[in-house]
Amino acid sequence: MRMAYTACKSASKGVACRYPARPGSPRDKKEKGMSTTAANSPATEINADGPTSAEEPVEGSNEGHGGGSRRLSLFVPEPEFRPGDTPDFSDVPIPKAGSVRRPPIDVDAGDIHDLAYSIIRVLNRDGEAVGPWADLLTDGELVEGLRDMLRVRAFDARMLMAQRQGKTSFYVQALGEEAIACAFRRALKPGDMNFPTYRQQGLLLSTDYPMVDMMNQIYSNAADPLRGRQLPIMYSSKKHGFFTISGNLATQFMQAVGWAMASAIKGDDKIAAGWIGDGSTAENDFHSALVFASTYRAPVVLNIVNNQWAISTFQGIARGKAATFAARGLGFGIPSLRVDGNDYLAVYAVSKWAIDRARANHGPTLIEFVTYRAGAHSTSDDPSGYRPKAESEKWPLGDPIERVKAHLIKKGAWSEERHVQANAEVESAVLQVQKQAERHGTLHAGDKPSAREMFEDVYAETPAHLIRQRQEAGL
């Protein structure tokens, strides 16, 4: 049995789990030697991975081996493909849909270590839902899910264009990652609280949160619920279980655990969800969250969205050649699962499992959603400077919208025509809302929140020094 993780140890240039060594490469030889020692138990596999940096320059190195003469050198991980290269993921191990078991929700973390190294998938390449994680959603719910994702994509496209037209300063898309927030949201109950990053607009766009308010916020216009104070896309809505987004990475991950601990202290039945990107798992707050969550068995679901990139930095910089992101949870005794983040059904099933587990007071779960950031990091970024243009098309997990669509068509619950129509409906609805929002102004045109409002909400009651400053500003 060679699981995804076993192959990842062969990663050439430190690219980690995604890329096994090319046949015949020096690393490949090294890997073959190692694979004979790799046992099936994940714990043994970790050991088999051995030291990384010290082993790197073995082949072709003219330094002596094993003796005292060998000099140290710094290992700096590099992605397999850079601009100009032809990305090829054909040898990336993707476990078969339906092949990963589904444990009971009160399982011990120690009994499911393998789930942190595999990828839970439901939709197979033929569009069928298979295996123990399948069949949790009705066709009607799936059609709603599909519409949610279409809405996120259409919303992103409009707002991206609005930014290009100078109607706002900044935008962040979730292109290719729509399934994750949308399906997770479906598994939550009212009153649960998300502590999101800037890439979980799907959490709001799949609820009844008014889309126009999101646009008003993006435009910092007169109707902006956040009164022009926040950078675009940094939404906030307690009512919709969406904690105010911070620009400082990872802080929310720990706060989610605190919220969950409060729910436990108060004997409530609400759970929290923390969200973080692959790159941001490097921050201290990520580790703080794991230690608190495991210590107090907090009713929290800790979500890592591994979209392979953190601005220009590939995921290997956040974890080197070590294990998977999900595996970070194992040392804390937190059940840790890896999921195909582009598979709406799998995302829903695993989210539901973890949410049910938290609500049943069995404690935290760490989930790694494996996906790919198909767009630029933000409107301030141009990925052609650091990764091949074709990389996102070549990404082996496909497009989340296309996959649900194919599944529904296969089942006879959907058709190309209905899809085209649904997409047109969504796009026109988004456009209508955009017009409505723009009546309240855009960043540099029309009405905007008053300057006076920048002095409000610094404190519950405005202290004397701020009143003086406001007067000095003539406001």
Partner 1 sequence: MIEAVRDAMDVAMGRDENVVVFGEDVGYFGGVFRCTQGLQEKYGSDRCFDSPINEGGIIGAAIGMAVYGMRPCVEIQFADYMYPGYDQLTQEAARIRYRSNGDFTVPMTVRMPTGGGIFGGQTHSQSPEALFAHVCGLKTVIPSNPVDAKGLLIASIEDEDPVIFMEPKRLYNGPFDGHHDRPVTPWKNHELGDVPEGYYKTPLGNAAVRREGREVTILTYGTMVHVALAATAETGVDAEVIDLRTILPLDFEAIEKSVRKTGRCVIVNEATKTCGFAAELMSIVMEGCFYHLEAPVTRVTGWDTPYPHSQEWEYFPGPARVGEALRNAMEAA
Ligand X SMILES: Cc1ncc(C[n+]2csc(CCOP(=O)(O)OP(=O)(O)O)c2C)c(N)n1
- Interface residue list for Mg ion (CB under 5 A): 277-279, 307, 310
Select from 22, 55, 57, 78 the one that contacts partner 1 (CB under 8 A).
78
* Cα gap 316→321, rounded to integer Å: 7
User: Contact letters (x/-) for partner 1, 7-46, by CB under 8 A?
Assistant: ----------------------------------------
86 in contact with ligand X (CB under 6 A): no
Select from 49, 178, 213, 224 the one that contacts partner 1 (CB under 8 A).
224
Least distance CB 43 / ligand X (angstroms):
28
Least distance CB 198 / ligand X (angstroms):
7
Which among 278, 254, 273, 280 has a CA at the least distance from the CA of 354? 273
3-class secondary-structure state, position 464: helix
Q: Report the residue number, 14 or 131, with the smaller CB distance to Mg ion.
A: 14
User: Contact letters (x/-) for partner 1, 169-198, by CB under 8 A?
Assistant: xx----------------------------
Q: Which amino acid is at 205?
A: L
For 370, the enclosing helix (H) or strand (E) is strand 365-370
Asked if residue 304 lies in contact with residue 325, where contact means CB atoms within 8 angstroms, the answer is: yes
* Cα gap 120→308, rounded to integer Å: 17
Least distance CB 269 / ligand X (angstroms):
30
Least distance CB 454 / ligand X (angstroms):
22
284 in contact with partner 1 (CB under 8 A): yes
* Cα gap 441→446, rounded to integer Å: 4
Least distance CB 285 / Mg ion (angstroms):
16
Least distance CB 466 / partner 1 (angstroms):
6
73 in contact with partner 1 (CB under 8 A): yes
DSSP 95: P
Which among 105, 104, 100, 101 has a CA at the least distance from the CA of 271? 105
Q: What are phi and psi of 186, to 5 degrees?
A: -65, -25
* Cα gap 406→408, rounded to integer Å: 6
Sign, CA dihedral 87-10-284-292, equals positive
Within residues 372-401, the interface with ligand X by CB under 6 A covers 373, 377
* Cα gap 26→249, rounded to integer Å: 38
Least distance CB 309 / Mg ion (angstroms):
5
Q: Report the residue number, 162 or 179, with the smaller CB distance to partner 1.
A: 162
* Cα gap 385→83, rounded to integer Å: 7
Within residues 305-324, the interface with partner 1 by CB under 8 A covers 310-313, 317-318
Q: What are phi and psi of 445, to 5 degrees?
A: -140, 145
**Closest-approach residue to ligand X (CB):** 277
* Cα gap 164→318, rounded to integer Å: 31
Which among 96, 126, 95, 141 has a CA at the least distance from the CA of 352? 141
Least distance CB 304 / partner 1 (angstroms):
13
Q: Report the residue number, 289 or 406, with the smaller CB distance to Mg ion.
A: 289
Q: Report the residue number, 38 or 290, with the smaller CB distance to partner 1.
A: 290
Partner touching 169 among ligand X, partner 1, Mg ion, none, CB below 5 to 8 Å by kind: partner 1
Partner touching 78 among partner 1, ligand X, Mg ion, none, CB below 5 to 8 Å by kind: partner 1
Sequence-distant (≥ 6) Cβ neighbours of residue 414 within 8 angstroms: 143, 146, 405, 408
278 in contact with ligand X (CB under 6 A): yes
Least distance CB 274 / ligand X (angstroms):
13
Helices 211-219 and 139-164: crossing angle in degrees, nearest 10, is 20
Within residues 239-268, the interface with partner 1 by CB under 8 A covers 246-250
Q: Report the residue number, 57 or 320, with the smaller CB distance to ligand X.
A: 320
Neighbours of 314 (CB within 10 A): 23
Tokens of 111: 């009994």
Within residues 167-206, the interface with ligand X by CB under 6 A covers 197, 199
Least distance CB 219 / ligand X (angstroms):
22
Q: What share of the chain is helix, strand, coil (3-state, %, to 5)?
A: 45, 10, 50
3-class secondary-structure state, position 51: coil
309 in contact with ligand X (CB under 6 A): yes
Least distance CB 145 / Mg ion (angstroms):
23
Select from 37, 44, 295, 380 the one that contacts partner 1 (CB under 8 A).
380
Distances (CA, A) of 82 to 28, 88, 345, 376, 406: 21, 12, 32, 15, 32
Which among 294, 203, 292, 284 has a CA at the least distance from the CA of 248? 284
3-class secondary-structure state, position 258: helix
Tokens of 198: 């800037």
Q: Which stretch binds ligand X (CB under 6 A): 97-105, 148-156, 303-311, 380-388?
A: 303-311
Applying CB under 6 A, the residues found at the interface with ligand X are 197, 199, 247-249, 277-280, 305, 307, 309-311, 373, 377
Applying CB under 8 A, the residues found at the interface with partner 1 are 73-74, 76, 78, 82, 169-170, 220, 224, 228-232, 234, 246-250, 279-280, 282-285, 310-313, 317-318, 380-381, 385-386, 443, 448-449, 451, 453-455, 458, 465-466, 469-470, 473, 475
